[in-house]
Each structure stands twice: as structure tokens, then as C-alpha cells.
């Protein structure tokens, strides 16, 4: 038997960052009760909940244990094959939603769970997009999310390598949240992040490989006045702006809510 307080204590002892939040999420999810009911406490004897608490104590990411995560106010199915959506990425998605012209078409490169592309289509019933992902098992999750949210008719899901993909037609916007963690930074990531797919986090080098590819290959697929926007690591703005300028584009840097450089947007 376990109470809410005991679960919080277990998670806290295991070094989990937000033990109270995580304990409540696990109880709500596995006991199928409301947050209010979880807060009033009780003894939980559910073996699934016990296993879930143990997995979280082993520092497995909460999102993978729940099998879903929220992004832009929508719930996305997840598996350990895809990166967990971050609130930081909502900046890039909001920018796409607000700036895409009426009836516009966009491409989302390295789509992962499909959270950017699907959220954009949910907010913009007039838009259509293409979501590109190299790994079939990851693309299958994006496909599931597109179907669950009912946007599959407006989203082309494409299994391809962005280093060689040749799109049919052109786009008003091309967005990407590519792997940008440097090989050095990978050495100091948290136990949770180390359980996310490394291929979605790092290029195994200086963190800039994907930006070089995107700005080198994709401007020719933009319509007149089109835009490329990419999420970046907080120390990468200068380097990515330089890559964009070398491609003949005019970059602007946008900051996230914490005031850190987060998106480079280039017309």
C-alpha cells in the first residue's frame, strides 16, 4: 500500500526534480481518478501504480511511463522512440501558427511525435503540411497523433532523410526542431534525458550539422517571401544566424519565456 505522501517521499529520495507533480500525475493516470481525489489521499494498492512509481524512481521520464504528454494544450501519444515535447518548442509552433499565410503550406523536418505539425494544423484549419522523419518507428507515432487529432488528411507523413529528401512542390514555411545538443553537452545531461533517443538530441558533433543542411538545401523549396524557422540551443544563435546569412537569408532571433535565445527565423 502507498499513500500520496509516501510516493512523493520515494520520488524525492530518488532525486526526481518535481516529486509532487509526478506523484499526482502517476496516481491520476493509473488510478483513473481526478487530481482533486488524488490530493485528498488514500491508500493505493494498484500493482501498475507501484511499478510506475518504481520506473520513475529509476529516473525513467514521466512522459514515457504515462505514454503521453501535453503540448500546445493538446495531448500527444509518445513512446521512447521519440523526443518528449518541451514547452520551449511551443514558441516555434506559435510562430508558425501566427505567421503562416491563409491557406499556407509548411514542412516540419525531423517531426518526431508530430507535435509541431499536428498542433499547427489544429490551430489552422486552412493549412496543410508535410512532416518528415527518418525513423519509421518514430513516424508511426506521428501518424497515430495525426489520426487521433483528425488532421491526417492535411498532413503528408514522409519517411525520409532530410539530408537527401526532395519535396514535391514548395512551402510558405519550413520549420524544424532538429538534434542540436553538442557531443560535449551530452556528457552532462540528466538521467531522464539520457533515456530519450540520442539520435533526436545530438548530431554527435558540434550541434550545427542539421542547421547547415537545412539552410543549404531548403531555401530553394520556399515560395516567394517564404520563411525557415528552427529551434536552437540557447548558445547557438550567432552560429545559426551566420549559417542562415551564408545562405542569403535574413535571420532574426527570438527568445523563450526564460529570456534565452530559442528560435532563429529567416526569410
Q: How is the chain classified by DSSP, letter by letter?
A: -B-HHHHHHHHHHTT-S-HHHHHHHHHHHHHT--HHHHHT---B--HHHHHHHHHHHTT--HHHHHTEEEETTEEEE--TTSPPP-GGGHHHHHHHHHHSPTT-EEEEES-TTSHHHHHHHHH-TT-EEEEEES-HHHHHHHHHHHHHTT-GGGEEEEE--TTT---SS-EEEEEE----B-TTGGGG--HHHHTS-HHHHB-SSSS-HHHHHHHHHSGGGEEEEEEEEEE--TT-HHHHHHHHHHTT--EEEEE-TTS-EEEEEE-
Amino acid 41: pLDDT: 78
Tens digits of per-residue pLDDT, 34-83?
Answer: 999 999 878 999 999 999 999 999 999 999 999 999 999 999 999 999 99
Amino acid 87: pLDDT: 95
Amino acid 86: pLDDT: 96
Beta bridge partners of 83: none
Mean pLDDT score of the chain, rounded to an integer?
97
Amino acid 196: pLDDT: 97
* Start-to-end C-alpha separation, the chain: 58
Residue 14 pLDDT > 90: yes
Beta bridge partners of 215: none
Amino acid 1: pLDDT: 85
Amino acid 118: pLDDT: 98
Residue 187 pLDDT > 90: yes
Q: How confident is the model at residue 158 (pLDDT cuts 50, 70, 90)?
A: very high
Q: Mean pLDDT across the stretch 164-175?
A: 97
Q: Are 78 and 69 in contact (CB under 8 A)?
A: yes
Residue with cell 505567421: 99
Beta bridge partners of 75: 70
Cβ count near 230 (within 10 Å):
27
**pLDDT: is 42 or 158 the higher one?**
158
Tens digits of per-residue pLDDT, 93-121?
Answer: 999 999 999 999 999 999 999 999 999 99
Q: Mean pLDDT across the stretch 160-174?
A: 97
Whole-number Å distance between alpha carbons of 5 and 200: 35
Residue 18 pLDDT > 90: yes
Amino acid 65: pLDDT: 98
Q: Mean pLDDT across the stretch 211-231?
A: 97
Amino acid 171: pLDDT: 98
Whose CA is closest to 89, among 105, 112, 67, 68? Answer: 112
Angle between helices 19-31 and 4-13 (to 10 degrees): 130
Q: How confident is the model at residue 240 (pLDDT cuts 50, 70, 90)?
A: very high
Amino acid 173: pLDDT: 98
Amino acid at each position: 500500500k502507498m499513500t500520496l505522501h509516501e510516493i512523493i517521499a520515494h520520488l524525492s529520495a530518488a532525486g526526481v526534480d518535481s516529486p509532487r507533480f509526478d506523484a499526482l500525475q502517476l496516481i491520476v493516470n493509473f488510478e483513473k481518478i481526478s487530481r482533486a481525489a488524488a490530493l485528498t489521499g488514500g491508500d493505493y494498492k494498484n500493482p501498475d501504480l507501484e511499478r510506475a512509481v518504481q520506473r520513475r524512481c529509476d529516473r525513467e521520464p514521466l512522459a514515457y511511463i504515462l505514454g503521453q504528454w501535453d503540448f500546445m494544450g493538446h495531448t500527444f501519444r509518445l513512446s521512447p522512440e521519440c523526443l518528449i515535447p518541451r514547452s520551449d518548442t511551443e514558441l516555434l509552433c506559435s510562430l508558425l501558427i501566427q505567421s503562416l499565410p491563409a491557406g499556407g503550406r509548411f514542412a516540419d523536418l525531423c517531426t518526431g511525435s508530430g507535435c509541431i505539425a499536428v498542433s499547427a494544423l489544429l490551430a489552422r484549419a486552412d493549412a496543410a503540411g508535410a512532416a518528415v522523419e527518418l525513423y519509421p518507428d518514430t513516424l508511426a507515432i506521428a501518424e497515430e497523433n495525426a489520426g487521433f487529432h483528425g488532421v491526417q488528411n492535411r498532413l503528408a507523413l514522409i519517411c525520409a532523410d532530410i539530408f537527401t529528401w526532395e519535396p514535391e512542390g514548395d512551402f510558405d514555411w519550413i520549420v524544424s526542431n532538429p538534434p542540436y545538443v553538442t557531443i560535449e553537452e551530452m556528457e552532462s545531461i540528466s538521467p531522464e534525458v539520457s533515456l530519450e533517443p540520442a539520435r533526436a538530441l545530438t548530431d554527435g558533433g558540434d550541434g550545427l550539422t542539421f542547421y547547415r543542411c537545412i539552410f543549404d538545401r531548403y531555401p530553394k523549396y520556399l515560395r516567394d517571401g517564404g520563411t525557415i524557422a528552427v529551434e536552437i540551443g540557447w548558445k547557438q544563435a550567432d552560429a545559426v544566424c551566420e549559417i542562415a546569412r551564408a545562405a542569403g537569408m535574413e535571420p532574426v532571433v527570438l527568445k523563450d519565456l526564460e529570456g534565452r535565445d530559442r528560435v532563429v527565423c529567416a526569410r
